[in-house]
């Protein structure tokens, strides 16, 4: 499938630890009968505000993802960060301009139709519709068969990995946040702390180790909502946290919250996408519209490679071309060439 992605950027790993270049790496040995696994990931999905009022509530559940639906559905697993809680039908959904997000139950159908297999609900907007919205989000995602991580009706469930099996691979996802709107400086005193996974290494790192040591997962993906909004680079603490997750055994780290793209880094042969930017999200500054579909391919021999499909975010995500696509590649640290060879690994 990757050979047909003319708009994707394919890159090869620089073998030095900590290299910034996206690449191809060796994972743990894979069983010979496995087929290549294609895992796609995108950033923030806000299906509230104008998406709710102008499209979802008018019956157009297809609009937000229509232009890229075939791309998203082509993956074996497609992941995104669900920034807008799903509230019960009839909820007073917020208008454009509000910093509180919510979206109707039909949003779950839109995610399923678009090809999403899993989302993280752990972010600073997880409590925007209160505990009722948090539970409704889980209920609606379960209804349409979209897996979820980062929230739960108990904290143990919020910390629990979602394990998806595809083509002989067991892929575990863990989600957590370091941003929380109601109480950013006192999370543990807020009621949401009983339902939302906070990015604390005290539980996250041991859970990664447990999944690997007990043979529960061949691949562990960590999703983290953290960082400084609109910053072009991740801060030192966030770099340490993600690298600690990889030291614990994580294979792919996915970041979101800054609303802009940040560089991809490779640490100990594992990719860290510090910020995937927006996807279905409209903000004022033009650089917040620069985004991408991050396309990971894991091969039977144990190699993993990354392709980036440049995208313009908004109420509908669309392919980006020309200067916009070049800017997207520069922001994540990709070469300017349209394509580059993939190293096949061992």
Q: Where are the domains of the chain?
A: 2-332
Give yes or no for a contact between 329 and 9, defined as CB atoms under 8 angstroms apart.
Answer: yes
C-alpha torsion 89→90→96→101, nearest 10: -50
Predicted model pTM? 0.88
- pLDDT, one tens digit per residue, over 129-183 is 999 999 999 999 999 999 999 999 999 999 999 999 999 999 999 999 999 998 7
Q: For residue 277, which of 64, 121, 45, 99 has the smallest C-alpha distance?
A: 45
Query: What's the confidence (pLDDT) of residue 221?
Result: 98
Q: For residue 234, which of 335, 331, 306, 126 has the smallest C-alpha distance?
A: 331
Q: Low-confidence residues of the chain, pLDDT below 50? A: 1-26, 28-30, 336-346
d(CA 170, CA 178): 27
d(CA 314, CA 12): 30
Query: What's the confidence (pLDDT) of residue 163?
Result: 98
Give yes or no for a contact between 290 and 279, defined as CB atoms under 8 angstroms apart.
Answer: no
Architecture of the CATH domain 2-332 = 4-Layer Sandwich (3.60)
d(CA 169, CA 32): 11
End-to-end CA distance of the chain: 20
Q: How many CB atoms are closer than 10 A to CB 162?
A: 18
Residue holding tokens 């630890």?
17
Query: What's the confidence (pLDDT) of residue 185?
Result: 78
Q: At 219, phi and psi to the nearest 5?
A: -140, 135
Q: At 194, phi and psi to the nearest 5?
A: -90, -5
Give yes or no for a contact between 225 and 177, defined as CB atoms under 8 angstroms apart.
Answer: yes
Q: How many residues does the chain have?
A: 346
Q: For residue 41, which of 260, 301, 303, 221 has the smallest C-alpha distance?
A: 221
Query: What's the confidence (pLDDT) of residue 182?
Result: 84
């Amino acid at each position: 499938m990757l050979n047909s992605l003319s708009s994707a950027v394919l890159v090869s790993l620089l073998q030095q630890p900590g290299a910034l270049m996206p690449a191809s790496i060796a994972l743990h040995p894979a069983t010979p009968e496995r087929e290549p696994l294609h895992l796609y990931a995108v950033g923030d999905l806000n299906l509230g505000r104008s998406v709710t009022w102008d499209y979802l509530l008018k019956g157009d559940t297809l609009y937000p993802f229509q232009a890229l639906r075939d791309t998203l559905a082509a993956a074996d697993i497609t992941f995104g960060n669900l920034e807008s809680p799903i509230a019960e039908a009839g909820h007073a959904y917020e208008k454009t301009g509000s910093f509180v997000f919510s979206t109707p139950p039909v949003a779950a159908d839109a995610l399923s139709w678009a090809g999403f297999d899993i989302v993280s609900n752990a972010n600073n907007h997880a409590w925007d519709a209160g505990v009722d919205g948090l539970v409704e989000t889980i209920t609606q995602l379960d209804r349409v068969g979209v897996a979820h991580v980062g929230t739960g009706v108990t904290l143990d469930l919020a910390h629990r990995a979602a394990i998806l099996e595809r083509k002989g691979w067991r892929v575990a996802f863990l989600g957590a946040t370091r941003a929380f709107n109601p109480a950013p400086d006192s999370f543990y005193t807020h009621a949401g702390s009983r339902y939302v996974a906070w990015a604390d290494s005290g539980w996250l790192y041991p859970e990664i180790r447990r999944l690997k040591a007990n043979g529960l997962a061949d691949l562990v993906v960590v999703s983290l909502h953290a960082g400084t909004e609109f910053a072009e680079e991740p801060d030192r603490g966030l770099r340490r946290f993600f690298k600690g997750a990889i030291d614990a055994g994580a294979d792919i780290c996915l970041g979101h919250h800054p609303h802009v793209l940040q560089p991809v880094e490779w640490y100990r042969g594992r990719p860290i996408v510090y910020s995937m930017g927006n996807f279905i999200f409209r903000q004022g500054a033009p650089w917040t519209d620069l985004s991408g579909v991050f396309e990971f391919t894991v091969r039977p021999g144990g190699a993993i490679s990354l392709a980036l499909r440049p995208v313009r975010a908004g109420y509908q995500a669309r392919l980006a071309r020309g200067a916009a696509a070049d800017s997207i590649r520069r922001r994540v640290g990709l070469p300017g060439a349209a394509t580059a060879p993939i190293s096949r690994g061992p």
